[in-house]
Chains A and B, each alone.
Chain A
């Protein structure tokens, strides 16, 4: 039986501690230990982007990170995007544009979109598509997602 490791980390701006086995992924711990169910598992192999988080300010698939690696790092998930009752512009534009159907990929797209807009506040369509190419959506055909990111970028530039 594996010994559990004690990990101290920062998640969505709050200090957190948890115990995990060395083989547990960050995704498992976020979902099963810390109850952050907005982080979704679609593949477990880093191919679909549903489990996207910001890991030390870098976009990453939490299924490809071991939970022990979170020691001393910062993790941001979809649960941290809204400020209280105020949605992030990306969240609001996804709703306005009907950019989600089933919604399972949506948290990952929101995180990937946020990562893009933090680096590039005025991306063109090709840059948006490239930035979202690590996230799979099977429902929308991406049209409304791309438009939602465009409008969120516009809104954020004007604010």
Chain B
């Protein structure tokens, strides 16, 4: 049945989430909440320098302290291959990963881990850290991409050469990528208007409220159990196994409830250290980061410098676009510049373009994925420059986007042709929304007002998922998946199972299993869980239904042919019905338990999602403070399984985008010390900083997915910084090509001519 013709009973409703009561009563167990008898507490010693050679580490005084049971340094981790390979989410160089866990030879950022201690109390472990003596030769730090590519810049890695550039010398540029098509010169020659700017965006952190944690238990036979808050227990298993050089079968990862991740909990920091110290001490080791450590040494996502030139003809059609994206990778290669290059023009049909991206190492933390990794930086450049083109051509800003909007059949800049996507429908919805035509307040003394819009797209990820759906003999069902639930996904998966089996959402008990209990499942990331794990659940339900028809045939002692399963009943051609509960109750006598299973590679079912953000701002021209008066987020969800949690993704992504746009940034001293490593000084939006955010869900079903689902987790973070900058331009007449638009920056810009 085509999804568009189908009427749903459970999908599209808003049941209370299955894990809800545990989470509002404080009973849900997150990573830091687990404990074991005899457990030790681990703490990490971190570098105070941004760039230094380690001359010596003396751990003897720490080792000698009563109550200290393990002290490790980089020498206690095995050597691993120094090459990039498929590992975890995407590709990873295991040697870089190992060096990030515990530095060898050099420390490469303020907060780089050097040693770890496990002791009988956390306070004792901290005292032991103070007893470790490290001699450094401090080196000049390289703090941003401009400095890193300058002639004669200090090198972070003496052996790093530029991938994608033949015969390259050692460099801080780890990789160069390029997408190009058409003829740029011809394109720009046809332009009525050309605009060009250099954009700078700050490094920002995912800002999950729960710090990283790990609890490892190594048994006498070498079998390892690891509890941690992670977006992907199988990825954590792979990464730990690789850096510790152990077989996957020796390690069981049990995902705890997770207190936010946004991409940042897809890699390892503490987990291998806890395992290693448990191996050494023979006791369980629990590790939890402080917030200072989270900010100094985990996450963040890349700051960037983007040079962009775009030309449009008199009708507003973009005729040429030329982009150079320089992304901070942090201390090791691996920025999301490739995804930035994909996103920068994703919403538009372009014929002549060149997108060059450079992955550049700097003396900052190794970057990790952050919600639509690389996309927000890129869209800040393209969506503000497109707005400027619209202004110069006197075309409505949403209209110019419509005239260039990508749609089915358009070849995306990165190669493939688009299937049906909902960007045009989204633009229609934004243009006709009352917000777009509402009156703005008139200027009031120093306060001026403006409205801005920006769009953005995200490709989402397919990847692998597994599901096991067991029918209980009372007619309820139990669903097991391997996708850590970071925002309600276990309920959306249970709703899919319920829909297919004709049950209520509450009749399906969903659980998130450990790596021994369920088949391989990739990370909760790439907006993929409801789409991809949902696909596995959908297929497992088809498997259940096939078995239920077979069992019904046995009960009726008739041929299986012609029996259908609909609305929770098996139905014979003669109209006779057997309910799921009736079949399940007899399962023991018709062949044993009914258990459906499916494993999928969901790449075949993936579909991109587009978002748009409409925002009204108030700019105080005396102080430079930008306030958000009203925000409306539009997004194509394909099919909203649980609309309240879809709205939640859209609202949450929007507010993270507002934080990125207005205030969040890593502030380093000239010596490379992070100066705002607390949640007081790294200021994420509070309830007081934002208004209610209206979420408008667009549903253009994904033609590749049996239920039409697109991922919804990420796209909403992409447009807000650009939309805010466009609104500030509308209010003040100034284009500010820099993030964040914090009061000092806005105030300074308003004092200059530009």
Contacts and interface: CB of A to CB of B under 8 A. Distances in A.
Interface string B26-68: 1111101100000000000000000000000000000000000
B655 interface: yes
Contact of A50 (B21, B33, B209, B685): B209
Contacts of B693: 141, 143
19 contacts: A38-B26, A41-B288, A47-B679, A79-B26, A87-B25, A98-B488, A98-B644, A101-B487, A103-B24, A103-B257, A104-B210, A105-B209, A107-B26, A135-B686, A137-B687, A138-B206, A141-B655, A142-B686, A144-B644
A97 B644 contact: yes
B654 A138 contact: no
A41 B649 CA distance: 24
Interface stretch (A3-11, A67-75, A124-132): A124-132
A79 B25 contact: yes
B259 A102 contact: yes
A43 B687 contact: no
Nearest to A24: B123
Interface of A: 21, 23, 31, 36-45, 47-48, 50, 77-79, 81-82, 87, 91, 94-98, 100-107, 110, 125, 128-130, 132-147
B678 A77 contact: no
Contact of B487 (A45, A102, A105, A133): A102
B658 to A, nearest CB: 8
B20 A41 contact: no
Nearest to B643: A98
A85 to B, nearest CB: 9
Contact of B291 (A43, A96, A100, A145): A43
A143 B364 CA distance: 34
Interface in B548-590: none
The 5 tightest CB contacts between A and B, nearest first, are A38-B26, A104-B259, A141-B655, A103-B23, A101-B487
Given A41-B211, A142-B687, A144-B644, A48 B679 contact: yes
B688 A40 contact: no
Given A21-B123, A101-B645, A136-B209, A141 B24 contact: no
A133 B23 contact: no
A142 B258 CA distance: 19
Interface string B8-30: 00000010110111011111111
Contacts of A48: 209, 291, 679
A135 B679 contact: no
A133 B686 contact: yes
A139 B650 CA distance: 10
A42 B648 contact: no
B687 A145 contact: yes
B48 to A, nearest CB: 19
A101 B648 contact: yes
Contacts of A40: 30, 32, 209-210, 259
Contacts of B209: 40, 42, 48, 50, 102, 104-105, 136-138
A39 B26 contact: yes
A3 to B, nearest CB: 14
A95 B25 contact: no
A117 B652 CA distance: 25
Contacts of B86: none
A42 B23 contact: no
B223 interface: no
Given A78-B26, A82-B25, A101-B487, A133 B210 contact: no
B656 interface: yes
Given A42-B679, A98-B488, A87 B24 contact: yes
Interface of A is mostly: loop
B214 to A, nearest CB: 15
Interface string B88-131: 00000000000000000000000000000000000100000000
A77 B26 contact: yes
A128 B257 CA distance: 28
A140 B648 contact: yes
B23 to A, nearest CB: 4
A81 B21 CA distance: 12
Chain B binding surface, main DSSP class: loop
B486 A101 contact: yes
A47 B20 contact: no
A140 B290 CA distance: 23
Interface of B: 14, 16-17, 19-21, 23-30, 32-33, 123, 206-211, 257-262, 288, 290-291, 486-488, 642, 644-645, 647-649, 651-656, 678-680, 684-688, 690, 692-693, 695
A100 B20 contact: yes
A36 B262 CA distance: 27
Given A136-B686, A142-B690, A36 B26 contact: yes
Contacts of A87: 21, 24-25
Given A98-B488, A102-B486, A104-B260, A45 B678 contact: yes
A125 B653 CA distance: 21
Contact of B24 (A77, A91, A102): A91
B25 A45 contact: no
A38 B32 contact: no
Contacts of B642: 98
A134 B25 CA distance: 20
A137 B20 CA distance: 16
A103 B17 CA distance: 11
Contacts of A139: 260, 487, 648, 652
A42 B291 contact: yes
A105 B487 CA distance: 13
Given A23-B123, A37-B29, A141-B651, A102 B687 contact: no
Nearest to B259: A104
Contacts of B686: 129, 132-136, 142
A66 B679 CA distance: 21
B24 A94 contact: yes
B208 A102 contact: yes
Contacts of B14: 98
A134 B23 CA distance: 20
A129 B628 CA distance: 14
Q: Which of B651, B654, B686 has the most CB of A within 10 A?
A: B686
Nearest to A90: B24
Contacts of A147: 692
B287 to A, nearest CB: 13
B458 to A, nearest CB: 18
Contacts of A146: 687, 692
A48 B684 CA distance: 10
A141 B647 CA distance: 10
A103 to B, nearest CB: 4
Nearest to B491: A98
Contacts of B26: 36-39, 77-79, 107
B484 to A, nearest CB: 10
Contacts of A41: 32, 211, 288
A128 B123 CA distance: 38
Contact of A43 (B23, B28, B206, B678): B678
Contacts of A103: 19, 23-24, 28, 257, 259
Contacts of B648: 98, 101, 139-141, 144
A104 B30 contact: yes
A96 B16 contact: yes
A151 B246 CA distance: 53
